[in-house]
Amino acid sequence: MNKYLDLSINEIHELLVKKEITPLDLVKEALERIEENKDLNAFITINDKVIEEAKNLGEVDKDNLFFGIPIAVKDNIVTKGLRTTCASDILDNFIPIYDATIVKKIKNNKMLIIGKANMDEFAMGSTSETSYFGTPLNPIDKTRTSGGSSGGSASAVSANLVPLALGSDTGGSIRQPASYTGIVGMKPTYGRISRYGLVAFASSLDQIGPMTRTVYENAALLNILVGEDEFDLTSAKKEPEDFTRLIGEKITGMKIALPKFFISEIVDKEIRNKIKEIVSLLKENGAIVDIIDMSYLDTAVNLYQIIAMAEASSNLARFDGVRYGFRNNNAKTIDEMYETTRGLGFGDEVKRRIMVGSYILSGANAKTYYDKALMVRDDIKKEFDRVFKKYDLIIGPTTTRVAPLLGTSKDDPHKAFMDDVLVIPVNMAGLPGLSVPAGTNDKGLPIGLHIIGKAFDEATIYKLASYIEEAVTNE
């Protein structure tokens, strides 16, 4: 079997330009790898037209690094003509009639969508175990979770089934799986990437982002994903920039903050130790690292539970059996049709969150919970602003522990949220955050370093991330 997919994107691109390989070779190899690793359950749907698409891709474009590269797309991003399920029974047979803006960009850049990656149902979960289509496994240790909700994307990239994947991150759903599976995952600034065509979970928090094997490939992929979109009023208008531009630069003089909360008792000791090592490394190389106090970080999970569930309860109301997706045709009245369609179509976690969200917005609760949560959320933003007046970046571990064993998180929903305690504040503040592999524990399980940047300053995050990447690889 060929091993082209083990090469870097730059190397693959060179082979394509030299005509030593074709996109078809890459696609076939990816499909073979997916077949061989079927037990990983990384994909819900394989694009059965991808061979044809590879054949018809046309002349190689030497200026397009991503020409002919296979990519996995998380299954909550709609793809025209290609089943999009959100890992839910309620959309089991749903074939979208339009492409998400981000999918159009992927196609315009001549990348090949190999399939739709597994995930938690409607992105609700931290281990991808709420998927209707079975749980994706962690390629590093198949008894462990690949994280969630973008667990399939993480699993696919970590096992090198495809070099690139798209995930979405509402409360850590790109960064936490990236950390568990030892890959690079970026949640860009809210508004960086159009959400048009991303099936909404919590609209004010959702953000699409790239999941890749290396920092450089992550930054390069982000280059083509960003941009204002007339179909997403929350997308930001920004001058085009090259996110790879600071990669390789020295970190001397960089001002980095490490909040105490990120190395508190809630974090496993082996991870805290790893962070200490990283801090020493950074200091040795001329960076300034200060351990600081930051307020409100500990409130983020509670805020998340209020804001995300409230918004979700409304966003998921459209799945009612009237226009698309599953409908229970045996119902006698419209109310019965709604109740049974949604009752049968949604999984338990989704139903639980819809109910909690509805309760939170109900009557006087809206003021007691939702409005108050929005106020505290503003305070979190201000707190980040305050820190970023003095520092270029904030770092910490991405997760409190390494990837847990499968089946251990399901019984305690609240504990599952605590997996994301370190990453959620970033969604609340709308900031960019990235997880980069920082080494492993003694069992060889990956530990991720979380790097948080100023709004729209992804380039500086990549600068530090690539530095860490190189240091860890050369260890």
Binding site for other proteins (CB under 8 A): 77-78, 84, 86, 91, 94, 96-98, 100, 195-200, 202-204, 230-234, 310-311, 313-314, 317-320, 322-324, 334, 338, 358, 361-363, 366, 370, 374
| Angstrom distance (rounded) from CA 319 to CA 257 | 43
Closest distance of CB 241 from other proteins, Å: 23
C-beta closer to other proteins: residue 140 or 193: 193
Q: Is 149 a catalytic residue?
A: yes
C-beta closer to other proteins: residue 122 or 180: 122
Residue of 128, 149, 150, 409 marked active site: 149
The answer to whether 193 and 166 are in contact (CB under 8 A) is: no
Give the burial class of 160: count Cβ atoms within 10 A of its Cβ; 0-12 exposed, 13-18 middle, 19 or more buried: middle
Dihedral sign for Cα atoms in the order 314, 320, 325, 326: positive
Query: Which amino acid is it at 100?
Result: A
Residue of 88, 126, 158, 173 marked active site: 173
C-beta closer to other proteins: residue 200 or 436: 200
Question: For residue 326, which of 315, 312, 340 has the smallest C-alpha distance?
Answer: 340
C-beta closer to other proteins: residue 98 or 410: 98
> Which segments of 232-314 are extended strands (E)?
255-259, 288-292
Closest distance of CB 466 from other proteins, Å: 33
Residues in the chain: 475
Closest distance of CB 363 from other proteins, Å: 6
Q: Is 158 a catalytic residue?
A: no
The answer to whether 165 and 71 are in contact (CB under 8 A) is: yes
Helix H or strand E segment including 74: strand 70-74
Q: Is 173 a catalytic residue?
A: yes
C-beta closer to other proteins: residue 204 or 273: 204
| Angstrom distance (rounded) from CA 273 to CA 287 | 19
The answer to whether 123 and 83 are in contact (CB under 8 A) is: no
Q: Which residues are catalytic?
A: 74, 149, 173
